[in-house]
Structure formats: structure tokens, C-alpha cells
Structure 1
Amino acid sequence: MKFDLHTHHFRCGHADGTIRDYIEAGIAAGLSVIGISDHTPYFGSESEQAFPRIAMAKSELANYVEEVLALQKEYEGTIDVLLGIESDYFPEYAELYRRTLSAYPFDYIIGSVHNVGGVSIFNKSRWKNLNLQGKIAGKAEYYRLITASARSGMFQILGHIDAMKGNYPQFSDIPATAEIDECLRVIGECGIAIEINTSGGTKLCGGWYPSDDILERALHYGVVVTFGSDAHLPSRVADQRDAVAARLKEIGFIRWVYFKQAQQISVPIE
């Protein structure tokens, strides 16, 4: 059973290709299941499309859902097309996001922390002029937000849980063991999946999210895992999926999960 639950398309403003392009790429890659999971609009902003090169316009959400559901029917019997979405987690707007997204029949929602202290996690300038204590505080806050997102009950999957290293590889060396362990403990207790996301290879850090060290600790805390390429190009659908499966088995995982109608489906890692 091969699946990829994290893909984007042109509506977010920083990905290429149509939803159909990603579905066709999934078929070509031998997938049984492909999840479409473009970025939510910025519901907390008064603007129709606050950041055109980051997320879709508010008015596009219904069109997005309608298109995925139509393609789901069209490709039935060939590949299982799942309706997902990647939602930012902003504590101050959590209920607005929850209420808005609950109006649609999502198979799953990926919860991702993309901003800490009002600054993108991928903005490497945020680390300039910070001493070690400042860096520790920034990393700790990142994991506190991820922990809060797990407790919110809004998500089936948490996205790229060490992506703050994306454009600042030294992030991994900043000590924050207690916060990471608490985060993984809560994720395990809440029964939420974390994704192994291979888009780290497109950033300065290389590799994928999260690190082997975090995955080993996730296994200890009973955290379930899933796979997402985070493809912003159709050519990246299922990228490194087989390598991820092999590494997970080496670490000790024997199963991973996907979600349909918000229900977790567990399958052997092959």
C-alpha cells in the first residue's frame, strides 16, 4: 500500500501544477492513495488573500474542495484521492479555523506550525544576533506550539515537526530535549500521526523531517507515523518514499497510517 498525503498545487501561489497533475503523478509513481492538502487561507486576516504567494484566497476554499471531490469520483477505481488540507496553527485563531474547516468533508487535516513569534520558521534571519539562550527560547516556543496543536484536537496529522531547521541546519544542535520529549509524549497520548516529510531535501538542511533522533524518540512514545512528500511540483510526488519506508523499519516501526473520512487506517510498512 503506497500513499502520499501531502501535496500542493497552484492555488497556494508557490506550487506548480493542477490537482489533476498531482493525481496523475501519483498513478505514475504506483500509489494506491494520494492526498491533496493545499494550504488553508489565512482566516485570521481581514484580507481576502493576505499572502498570495503562501496560501489560497478565502473564496477559493470551496472551489478547492469541489474540485478534489469531483476528481475523487473521476479516479475511483484507479487511485484513491483523499481530500486533505494543511492548516496553520495559530492559537489565537484556533477556534475560527476549527469552525471554518468543520464545514467541509476533509478526510484529514495536517496541522503545521509555520510561524513563531510572528516570523516564518524558514526565515534564517530570525537567528541573527541571538545568543544560545535566545536560540533555546525560540526552539522551545516552537515545540510548545506544536504541543498545543496536538492538544487542540483539530488535526489528524502534524506536519514537518522539525522544519525550523529547513534553512538553518544548526537548529538541530540547539538543546531542547525536554520540550521535544514533552511534545512527543503529548502527540502519542493524543493518537495523532506525525509525517515523515521529504521536502527537507529542497531546503538548506537537506534530508527529511523529522530527524532520525526524533523518530527514535517518537517510537518510544508510541507516536504513529505517516508519509508526505510535501510536493510543490508534480515530479516530487512520492519522493523518497521507499527510502523512508526502509529507514522506518530500521528504526523499529512496522506500520504507518493514512486517514479516510477522518478515520485512521493502519497498514504495514513495505
Structure 2
Amino acid sequence: MKFDLHTHHERCGHALGTIRDYIEAGISSGLSVIGISDHSPYFASDADHEQPGIAMAKSEFARYVEEVLKLKQEYAGKIDVLLGCESDFFPEHADVYRSVYEQYPFDYLIGSVHLSGGVSIFNRKRWDGLTDRQQIEQKEIYYDLIAQSARSGMFQILGHIDAMRGFYPAFSDIPTNAVDKTLQIIAEQDVAIEINTSGKTKDCGGWYPIDAVLERANHYGVRVTFGSDAHKPERVGDDWELVSRRLKEIGFKEWVYFKQKQRQIVPL
């Protein structure tokens, strides 16, 4: 049974195609389940559309939900369309985001850290001139935010938990036990992590997270799910079979998706 819980569309300002395009791509690629999970608006901003090239406007959010629910009904029997959202996580604004999400019937929410220490995790220059100690500090700040997102109770899934390596592959080699500590917290909170295949589109190549992190996740009993993080329809379900095979090699027996925030177990 194939599923993909992480897809975007044109509302976020940096993806191509409509929601319908992604659903049709899911059907073409043999998915039984597709989750629509576009980027959350900046709910804590005074502006309606903070950073248009990154996320949708606040005024679009209800329309986004309405469209997904309408398409869920239209495609019933052909593919199971799930209502999701990839949410930024800002600890200082968590209650604002939580109050918005509680108004809608989400099947799941993906919590993703995109800003760490006030700087985008994808900023190529954020590592320039840092000492070894400062690099460790930056990695630990990032994983502390991920740990806080796991503890927040807001999310069923945590997104791309080593995406900071996207444009800085050496990130994986920065020595700290923060990754293990965070994986233990994720396991304790019973939140899933995604294997996100969009890493292949960045300088680092491969998937998020790397195999070494997945091996540790399996050791601690962290549950896993799949997301292509597709920003164009042709990437829906990308590398699903390869990920499934690799997870089995690592030792995982199952992966999960979420419907009405209830975990659905799929054997590998």
C-alpha cells in the first residue's frame, strides 16, 4: 500500500501546480493515500501574507482546507485524500498556531523547523566563519527546537529532521549527542518522523534523514512515515519503493500514516 503524506501546491508561492494536479499524480503513481500538506501561513504575523514566496496568506488558509475537503469527497473510491499541513514551529507562537489548527478537521500535522537561531536552515552562508564549537552550538539549537516540537503535542509527524544539511552536507559530521537525545524524546512522545526524499534535490543528495539517523531512530523505537515533499506533481511518491526497501534493510518492520489523527500501520 503506497502513501505520500508530504505534498505542496501553488498557494505556497514556490511550488508548481494545483492540488488536483498532485492528486492525479498520486493516482498515476499508484498511491492509495495522498496527503496534502502545504506550508502554514505565518499566523503570528500582523501581515496577511508574510513572505509570499514561502507560505500562503492567512486569508487563504480556510479556502485551502475547503478545497482539500471538497477534493477528498470527489476522489473517494479512487484515492484517499488526507487533509494535512506542514507547520512551522516557533515555540513563542505555538499557542497561536495551535488555536488555528483546532478549528479544522486535520488528518495530521507535520511540524517542521525551517528557522533556527533566527536564520533559515537552508541559508548557505549561515556556516561561514563558524568555529567548531559554534557549529556544534548551532546543531544543538536546531535539535532542541525539534525536541520542543515533539513535546508540543501539536504534531503527528516531524518533517525532515536533518534538513539543515541540505546545503551544508558536513552538518551530519558535526559531533554532538543532540541527535540521539532528540530521537529519544521523539520516541517518548510517540511522534513519527518522515523519510523525506526531497533531500535528493539539494546539495546534500539522498534523503532526510541519513541512514545513520534512521538506524538510531529504529534503535529507539521511533515510528516512520513517507513524504516526497513534492513541489511539482511529477515528484509525488518519488523513491517510495527504494525507501521501503532501505527501511527493511535497516530493520524497520512497519511504517505509518495518519487519518483523523489516528495512526494507521502499514507493514513493510
TM-score range, shorter chain: over 0.9
Task: Look up the match of 1:120.
Answer: 120
Q: How far 1:44 sits from its partner (Å)?
A: 1.5
1:35 corresponds to:
35
AA aligned opposite 2:162: D
Q: Which runs of 5+ in 1 are unaligned?
A: none
Q: How does 1:1-270 map to 2 (within 5 A)?
A: 1-176=1-176, 178-269=177-268
Q: Whole-Å Cα distance in 2 between the matches of residues 170 and 182 of structure 1?
A: 20
Q: Displacement, 1:45?
A: 1.0
Q: Deviations over 1:229-249 (max 9, x none)?
A: 000000000000100000000
The structural deviation recorded for 1:192 is 0.5
C-alpha distance after superposition, 1:67-95 (max 9, x if no partner): 00000000000000000000000000001
Q: CA deviation at 1:119?
A: 0.5
Distance 1:187 1:8 in 2: 25
> Residue type of the partner of 2:164?
M
Q: Secondary structure at the match of 2:256?
A: strand
- Counterpart-to-counterpart distance in 1, 2:47 and 2:202: 29
1:82-129: CA deviation from partner (whole Å, max 9, x where unpaired): 000000000000010001111010000000000011100000100001
| Cα displacement (A) at 1:42 | 0.4
Name the TM-score, length of structure 1 as normaliser. Answer: 0.99
Q: How many equivalent pairs are there? A: 268
CA drift at 1:210: 0.2
Q: CA offsets, 1:205-237, max 9 Å, x none?
A: 000000100000001111000000000000000
Q: Offset of 1:155 from its aligned partner?
A: 0.1
How much identity, in percent, do the aligned residues show? Answer: 68
Look up the equivalent residue of 1:132 and give its one-letter code: D
SS in 2 for 1:161: coil
Unmatched tracts of structure 2, length 5 or more = none
Calculate the TM-score normalised by the size of structure 2. 0.99
Structure 2 residue identity aligned to 1:18 = T
CA RMSD of aligned residues (A): 0.5
What is the distance in 2 between the residues matched to 1:217 and 1:38? 29
- Tell me the distance in 2 between the aligned counterparts of 1:221 and 1:124: 32
